[in-house]
Structure 1
Amino acid sequence: MSEETNQLLTPQDCLVALMVAVSASDETIRTAELVKIQNAVNMLPVFAEYDADRTNMVSQMVYDFFEQEDGLDALFGVVRDVLPARLSETAYALACDVAAADGSLAETELRLLEEIRYELNIDRLHAAAIERGARARHMV
């Protein structure tokens, strides 16, 4: 993706992209995951000024990345360029919530969460707390 494209993306686009990536990582986008993404975009303060219509464009960008050989690396490159560090834990929390939304965690989702932790430089202790919170919120 070009530098010009990165400048067209917002930090909120990056949050959406990571949520979509986690949902699509197991090659099955479940309704519960889509609802979780939609609710986050509609309800959370970080998305207060966000145009929810951009979600489809961002989703397509993620699918396009996933079709490329080094697409995940490219996606993380965009996220690192656009997402401010202050939103790294928010991004990880949203990704964990999407992963937990359907009540099960596929191995591919767990690997992607691990990669997100690494790419966003999330402290392991903070990550564990975020993961525990997501698990608690999605307990049945």
Structure 2
Amino acid sequence: MTLDTATLSPQDALVAIMIAISMSDENVRTAELVAIEQAVNYLPIFAGYDVDRIKKVSQITTDLFEEEDGLDALFGMIRAALPEHLYETAYAFACDVAAADGALYQPELRLLEEIRYELKIDRLHAAAIERGARARHLTN
């Protein structure tokens, strides 16, 4: 599968969103990788998902991050693959991965803002999703 012919399944699109938010600050942390792994291994949306595809989706995401308009292309692929009723799910996964290491960095916040815009997430719904992620990842 090349970048030009890459087609993502809805689950691939969710994985791509999680990988993108993890890569956004150029420092992929173990806690973020664990959050991605746990989501894929335990959540019903990924039932039957071929985990070997994660590497391929990761490579596509990495390649797109290196291109000038790669983020736009990534969002185009994600919107093409993801049914609209899963847009908030994608945002929730992005928030969970961003919050997994206990800190939000400026590049992550900017990408979350871009995800909200690209997936047309209502600000009130986004705030609720963000609050849920924050609550799930508090340490003390």
Bin of the TM-score, shorter chain as denominator length: over 0.9
- Residue 41 of structure 1 corresponds to 40
Aligned residues: 137
Q: Equivalences for 1:1-140 in 2 at 5 Å?
A: 1-2=3-4, 4-6=5-7, 9-140=8-139
Structure 1 residue 5 displacement after superposition: 2.3
SS in structure 1 of the partner of residue 49 of structure 2: coil
Deviation at 1:49, TM superposition (A): 1.7
Q: TM-score, normalised by structure 2?
A: 0.96
Report which of the two has the higher share of helix.
1
Identity %: 69
Relative to the length of structure 1, the TM-score reads: 0.96
State the AA in 1 paired with 2:47.
A
Unaligned runs of 5+ in 2: none
The structural deviation recorded for 1:78 is 0.4
Work out the CA distance in 2 between the residues paired with 1:20 and 1:82.
Answer: 16
Deviations 1:2-48 (A, max 9, x none): 3x422xx2000000000000000000000000000000000000000
Give secondary structure in 1 for the equivalent of 2:6: helix
One-letter code aligned to 1:22: I
Report the aligned-residue RMSD. 0.8
C-alpha separation between the residues in 1 aligned to 2:137 and 2:6? Answer: 35
- Spell out structure 1 runs of 4+ moving beyond 2 A: none
SS at match of 2:96: helix
